[in-house]
Structure 1
Amino acid sequence: MHESKFFSARARGRAVALVFVLSLAACGQESAQKTSVLPRPDVSVVTLHPQSVVITTELPGRTTASLTAEVRPQVGGIIQSRLFQEGGEVKVGDVLYQIDPAPYQASLDSALASLRKAEASVPSAQAKVDRYQSLAKQSAVSKQDLDDALATLAQAQADVASGKASVETARINLEYTKITAPIGGRIDKSSLTPGALVTASQTTILTTIRTIDPINVDVTESSTNLLNWRKAIGEGRLKFAGPDISVKLLLENGTTYAHLGKFAFVESNVSETTGTFALRATFPNPDRLLLPGMYVRAIIEQGVAENSYVVPQRAVTRDTKGEATAMFVGKDGKVVQRVLTIDRNVGNNWLASAGVQDGDRVIVEGAQRVRPGQDVTGTEVTIDENTGEVLERKQGSLDSTQTAQGGGTSGASSAGK
């Protein structure tokens, strides 16, 4: 009886085990069925093509006035009036201050009187010389008398020349009582008020005038970057843009200045302490938006890199070795990870010199959800060049069996603008 109970228990155990195995098999089949019907991940891609890319460099700098004049008096006296609006615009020759002209008018009148006196003595001296010369031919006067007459005439003529110089000096000093603007531009506040006593060429500046249209932007660049740039030009990797280089300007608030500038000059020496040299660009400033002393960033065109590839920055990451990597969708629809050689940034893109080929589809959205070797569906998108974000999806999607065709990255076209 005990033996029959033992066999009955074994039978029941086998039945339970069989049911458990069958249940696992059913679950596995159901899971496999579910796995087989899961859709492939959808990723956003941009197709890369070689193109000409304008290479720029962004350098910090300061705005400076194109002309600066410190106004000082050239004669002494009491300031009678100030004739300009502080902080306003003045033109060349505008009267800024009026110094009391009375003593200088008196000096001019005295000089004119002395000149008339000198001029009055010339005719009689000339007549005496003419008469003595005629008599000398008849030996009626001595040669000494003729020489004395000639000397008197020369003295009278010299007195006239001296008188004219004195008159001109007095006239200039009288004109200097009107302190005029030597240049046109915006004028600062006045350091003195009417009633103040000034002296000729004093150290105290009355006011300052700055020409700010056009305005200069002075920036600095390292000598190392200059050598690298010349090497790139020499090796043909960069095509020089030419002498008429345009310059863009980024303001302190992050906005782009509305007017383009022109490259002016490069300093001919490198600083021994900083290893940098100065560059200058000139910008129109009709609205007086730029003021001297502003901090700006100048974007200068260095040249054009032809047959180059630009990869959106959002598609590039760094691995544990610090190498730049990106995910691509291959022609077979599988994800491929590659190491890129990055030269520099171009706007919101990276300029890649190795690791990409014509027609490659780089993943710009969804790369964190996939892994190398995985089948995916790639949807072509457009990148906003100002923000680097996905702007829009193109009509239709590129499935895993389609060959990469069509447009390239919008990033490079923006870089080439």
Structure 2
Amino acid sequence: MTRIVVGTGLLALAPACLLLSSCGKDEGKKDKAPPTVGFVVVQPTSVPVDTELAGRVSALQMSEVRPQVAGIVRRRFFKEGSLVTKGQTLYEIDPRVYSAAVDEAVANRNSAMASADSARELADRYKPLADMEAVARQDYVNAAAQARQTRAAVAQAQARLRSAQVSLQFTRVPAPISGRIGRSLFTEGALVTANQAEPLAVIQRMDPVFVDIQQSSAELLRLRRALADGSTPGDASVRLKLEDGSDYELPGKIAFSEVIVDPTTGTVTLRASFPNPDGVLLPGMFVRARFVQQVNSRAFLIPQQALRRDPRGAASVYVVEGDKAVERKVVVPSAQGTSWVVTSGLKPGDRLIIQGLGNIRPDIAVKPVPASEPQKVAPKKTKKGA
């Protein structure tokens, strides 16, 4: 009786064990199914490499207004901070001394001309007489020599007159260039000299202006190596960011690059030219210049979500190789819009995983599908009688 009961219990438990065993196998098979990942096929493209460097604004032209003669400043003819044109009179120095020098030079010239006329007539009169031996030949030679000396004296007097006239013209100090003039450093009544160290005023032409950009020699060497490896030079267009963080609206162009390295700073100067019609850019202002020095034709643009970084900041991505997700270390020097720029670590045709990254590990089997392909979602089963 007891054996029958025990046997019946064992028989009753057997189907339940078989059911649990089959459920465990089904769940194990379900866990081993490879995760589905979305990928895109990457190809190299031409990517401009932006460079941002510090620069300083300088005037296109700058001229110091200096006196050419000594004297007292009698008048000033300009308003400080205004625009002046080339040749415009800016100052007047007392001209009386120089006007008197001109008058004296005129008198000396006239006297020399009179002496020259007398000596010439005497030499002309002696010439036929000397030919007839009516006078000594030596007397004619002396008269002719005296005539030549007086002609030379006339030329000297004429030169002194021109010099005196130039000095008189220098009493009116003109603007050497057109531009905006600064404050006057000398007032009316001040004594100025031709060799003084301080100028009367400074004129600057500020449309257009120059921006001197400093680039380290190491960066220049990297650029040259990149160009040698196949990159192409960028265009000459430059954009500016002002000191307050705003962008300057008008673009500029690279004018030239120096061929020597400054031994004190280890930098090379690049000069850019910018239009400045509203006078926003002032000489001495610090700016940030952004421009394209090269175009990398072998770079890859990848979506930002595809990139991962370890605690040390090293960048990596996952690509599909066969049926596995393989981790690749990549070099990411910069970003462009919503994409990362990859210069090393990827090959043309690589299948880059951009979806399902949270479910994968290195070298795990995956089920790759194109990221643009819509995924099929099975309808949810409902219980009968619900």
TM bin (shorter chain): 0.7 to 0.9
Contact kept? 2:299, 2:341, Cα under 8 Å: no
- Alpha-carbon deviations, 1:222-257, whole Å to 9, x = none? 222222222222222x1234xx72322222223332
Q: 1:253 aligns with which of 244, 247, 264?
A: 244
CA distance in structure 2 between the aligned counterparts of 1:343 and 1:142, rounded to whole angstroms: 105
Q: 1:399 aligns with which of 336, 355, 374?
A: 374
Q: 2:285 aligns with which of 290, 294, 300?
A: 294
The alpha carbon displacement at 1:277 in A equals 2.0
TM-score, L = length of structure 1: 0.71
Matched, 1:276 2:251: no
Structure 1: stretches of 5+ with no match in the other structure: 1-17, 33-39, 380-396, 402-417
Distance 1:299 1:358, change over 3 A: farther
After TM superposition, the structure 1 = structure 2 runs for residues 3-402 of structure 1, keeping only pairs within 5 Å, are 49-236=43-230, 238-241=231-234, 245-311=236-302, 316-326=307-317, 338-348=327-337, 349-355=340-346, 357-358=348-349, 363=354, 398-400=373-375
CA distance in structure 2 between the aligned counterparts of 1:282 and 1:88, rounded to whole angstroms: 23
- Alpha-carbon deviations, 1:160-214, whole Å to 9, x = none? 1111111111111111111111122221111111122212221122111112222
**Which stretch shifts more, 338-347 or 204-213?**
338-347
Contact kept? 1:246, 1:261, Cα under 8 Å: yes
The alpha carbon displacement at 1:263 in A equals 2.0
The alpha carbon displacement at 1:90 in A equals 1.6
CA distance in structure 2 between the aligned counterparts of 1:210 and 1:265, rounded to whole angstroms: 21
Contact kept? 2:129, 2:135, Cα under 8 Å: yes
Contact kept? 1:338, 1:355, Cα under 8 Å: no
Code of the aligned partner of 2:343: A
Distance 1:210 1:314, change over 3 A: farther
Contact kept? 2:37, 2:367, Cα under 8 Å: no
**Which stretch shifts more, 369-378 or 76-85?**
369-378
SS of residue in 2 equivalent to 1:155: helix
CA distance in structure 1 between the aligned counterparts of 2:36 and 2:326, rounded to whole angstroms: 16
Distance 1:351 1:143, change over 3 A: farther
SS of residue in 1 equivalent to 2:344: strand
Code of the aligned partner of 2:271: R
Contact kept? 1:136, 1:142, Cα under 8 Å: yes
Code of the aligned partner of 1:239: T
CA distance in structure 2 between the aligned counterparts of 1:312 and 1:178, rounded to whole angstroms: 69
CA distance in structure 1 between the aligned counterparts of 2:351 and 2:83, rounded to whole angstroms: 58
Code of the aligned partner of 1:246: S
- Alpha-carbon deviations, 1:336-383, whole Å to 9, x = none? 68444225215444343223655856659x97x76657999998xxxx
Contact kept? 1:81, 1:99, Cα under 8 Å: yes
Code of the aligned partner of 2:96: A
SS of residue in 2 equivalent to 1:353: coil
Code of the aligned partner of 1:355: L
Distance 1:121 1:248, change over 3 A: same
**Which stretch shifts more, 250-259 or 134-143?**
250-259
Distance 1:250 1:209, change over 3 A: same
CA distance in structure 2 between the aligned counterparts of 1:64 and 1:290, rounded to whole angstroms: 9
SS of residue in 2 equivalent to 1:141: coil
SS of residue in 2 equivalent to 1:149: helix
SS of residue in 2 equivalent to 1:233: helix
CA distance in structure 2 between the aligned counterparts of 1:118 and 1:346, rounded to whole angstroms: 84
Contact kept? 1:375, 1:400, Cα under 8 Å: no
CA distance in structure 1 between the aligned counterparts of 2:36 and 2:189, rounded to whole angstroms: 84
Contact kept? 1:48, 1:362, Cα under 8 Å: no
Across the two proteins, how many residue pairs are aligned to each other?
A: 346
Code of the aligned partner of 1:126: R
Code of the aligned partner of 1:85: K
CA distance in structure 2 between the aligned counterparts of 1:156 and 1:51, rounded to whole angstroms: 86
Distance 1:91 1:229, change over 3 A: same
CA distance in structure 1 between the aligned counterparts of 2:242 and 2:327, rounded to whole angstroms: 38
The alpha carbon displacement at 1:261 in A equals 2.2
CA distance in structure 2 between the aligned counterparts of 1:256 and 1:359, rounded to whole angstroms: 38
Contact kept? 1:331, 1:400, Cα under 8 Å: no
CA distance in structure 2 between the aligned counterparts of 1:104 and 1:141, rounded to whole angstroms: 48
The alpha carbon displacement at 1:156 in A equals 1.5
